[in-house]
A and B are shown apart, each in its own frame.
Chain A
Amino acid sequence: MWEYTDKVKEHFLNPRNVGTIEDADGVGEVGSLSCGDALTLTVSIENDIIKDAKFKTFGCASAIASSSALTEMIIGKHIDEAKEITNDDISDFLGGLPKEKMHCSVMGRDALERAIANYRGEKIEKKEGTIVCECFGITDLEIQRAVSENNLTTIDEVTSYVKAGGGCSNCHDEIQKIIDSSIGGGIQIIDKKPEKLTTVKKLKLIEETLEREIRPQLSKDGGDIELVDIDGNTVFVKLCGSCSTCKKSEMTLKNYVEAKLREFVTHEITVEEA
């Protein structure tokens, strides 16, 4: 049923480094019987180099192969280097995993993280964040992480990577919200980047705005406006035509001209009559 690569099959049928290191320097345990996947990784470390690693796994061929691959990838590495290993690296090492099995590689990465944290004496909270998927006990932070690290865009993909949503489906709305906010957040970041406004750019924008937005409106009432000078963010203008004698010119300046310039150029603009 699953299209497994030869390397996955090889690591499954002849797994490397099965076992437990006695008096290990670091232990990482993830998963559970109820989950259907569990991995215990033990490592021995000398001068921050991983000298040896062993695993015990309860799970499918992908889980066993991912664990075996992981141990091969980390032995001999400095823990800072090992810490950079992502679940995609594990999958790539195996020539790729079926997308429904990506969660097995995530399990490998999680076990490694815990083993290193354990070695460093860092306390990894059992579960940070709020549980979203009750069937598999997956939190919003875990889902967010999977989404942003792997550019996931659908609920199916989330299920493939962290299992959330693969049971009763009640959490699908929540998962979608997390996906949407992750993608949405990306776009907002691109939009909000403020560009530094140079003098030349400012002048051009002011001229354009006057030409496009302001003058046509004033001319409807027989009026006009002229740019006299710019000093920092203060724009000096002269109202002409019927505007020059209009009682509402003060209002026009502030409510209309200044508002438009603030909208299209910068919020810091003030308009004065020259």
Chain B
Amino acid sequence: MKPVYFDNNATTKVAPEVFEEMAPYFVEFYGNPSSMHSFGGQVASKVSEARQRIANLINASPDEIIITSCGSESDNTAIFSALRSNPGKKHIVTSMVEHPAIKNLFKHLEKDGYQTTFVPVDNKGRLNLDIFYNSLSENTAIVSLMWANNETGTLFPIEEIGKELKKRKITFHTDAVQAMGKIDIDVEKINVDMISFSGHKIHAPKGVGGLYVRKGTRFSPFLIGGHQEKGRRAGTENLASIIGLGKACELAEKHMTGENEKMKKLRDKLENELVKRIPNSFINGDLDNRLPNTSSISFEYVEGESILLMLDEYSICASSGSACTSGSLEPSHVLRAMGIPFTAAHGTIRFSLSVYNTEEEVDLVIEKMPQIIEKLRDMSPFWQEAVKEGKVKYKD
């Protein structure tokens, strides 16, 4: 059965046009772009074209784009580069709601003796700017803050923070893996030194990503070896995927207004209908500053994995912040950092749309979710209690 795919923040399908664009570069034009012969060399211009397309999406110059294998590599590259470029500085700053690629990297560096600050957020996932600014010093090597949160879609005030960090001359990195392609990013308007992004979140294949590094930023490579990417990232270019990424960025630019707006309307319909029909449910995040495709909804007194498996019966794909679905036994650190109570943290579902989702699909989820929640609540000892204690709440 064809999936009703509402898990696009986890990964996206490769767009048909992207796949078509990539196809010749496996069996037909498979040369190494660095080769001397014309068979290899001819694909170098396709790589340049892809790089230009990527740069266009964020209004950057192509030589500010380093192509990597994924968002995690881009994140590691940015942080280690900043540390190597500022050897005397031992303080690093991030938030409490970052993706594991940043969070765990910072924890790792903490063990290596770096001083770390994890800035807290409020119950809407908004950064505590007072604590943030107060934590900065001359010893701060880098600030890394995600542009958009993968679980709730909440956007950080990157523009405002960028201005401040430029004044203080502190290197500013942002993990824009979820933001790129969904919201308009213009590096001429925003003072960010490095931006991570990832192919498989924007309908390019898995295994390719990139790092924007503003001209003039001191840079130290992470992957050392051959001279690819102008000596900034070794490794033979992932030819087909880079071309795919270029095409995907071109499409994303086209979709930025029309399609993204349609997607937002579908997301709004989905979440509004669900919280209307299901008591004791609420939407998480900064609803005024959010990605247009993400909806994190908590359903009290039931557990996430069971919701997902019941959705799976209808081929509906989503994800959850519950303990059972995370790698560890604790619920999502993002929800906990936001202070979402345990009554709800385990029962939080994330629906993340793409431009390919349809209204029919949204209507199906709206139809099935209330039944699923009801069935699970009938089994739940806590719902029974809540009913007895008159805690059942419908949104008016």
Contacts and interface: CB of A to CB of B under 8 A. Distances in A.
How large, as a class, is the contact surface on chain A? 20 to 34
A64 B381 contact: no
B323 interface: yes
Interface of B: 301-306, 309-310, 313, 322-325, 328-331, 342-343, 346, 378-382, 384
5 contacts: A20-B384, A36-B322, A39-B381, A56-B379, A58-B380
A13 to B, nearest CB: 7
Interface of A: 1, 9, 12-13, 15, 18, 20, 29, 32-34, 36-40, 55-64, 135-136, 159, 163, 166-167
A114 to B, nearest CB: 14
A38 B331 CA distance: 15
A62 B325 CA distance: 12
B329 A36 contact: yes
B328 A167 contact: yes
The 5 closest A-B pairs by CB, nearest first: A166-B329, A60-B305, A56-B381, A60-B324, A36-B323
Contact of B322 (A15, A20, A55, A60): A60
B384 A58 contact: no
A1 B325 contact: yes
A38 B306 CA distance: 13
B329 A159 contact: yes
A135 B333 CA distance: 13
A64 B309 CA distance: 12
Contact of B302 (A32, A58, A61): A58
B329 A61 contact: no
B342 A33 contact: yes
Which of A18, A55, A60: most chain B Cβ within 10 A? A60
Nearest to A103: B329
Nearest to A9: B309
A97 to B, nearest CB: 12
A156 to B, nearest CB: 11
Given A33-B346, A36-B303, A36-B323, A57 B380 contact: yes
Contact of A56 (B304, B328, B329, B380): B380
Contacts of A59: 303, 306, 324
B326 to A, nearest CB: 10
Given A56-B380, A56-B381, A64 B306 contact: yes
A12 B324 CA distance: 15
A66 to B, nearest CB: 12
A259 B378 CA distance: 75
A136 B382 contact: no
A135 B328 CA distance: 12
Given A20-B384, A36-B346, A59-B303, 8 more contacts: A1-B325, A15-B379, A18-B378, A34-B342, A36-B303, A56-B384, A57-B379, A135-B329
Given A33-B342, A33-B343, A57 B313 contact: no
Contacts of B305: 60-61
Contacts of A62: 324
Contact of A60 (B303, B330, B381): B303
Nearest to A61: B309
Contacts of B342: 32-34
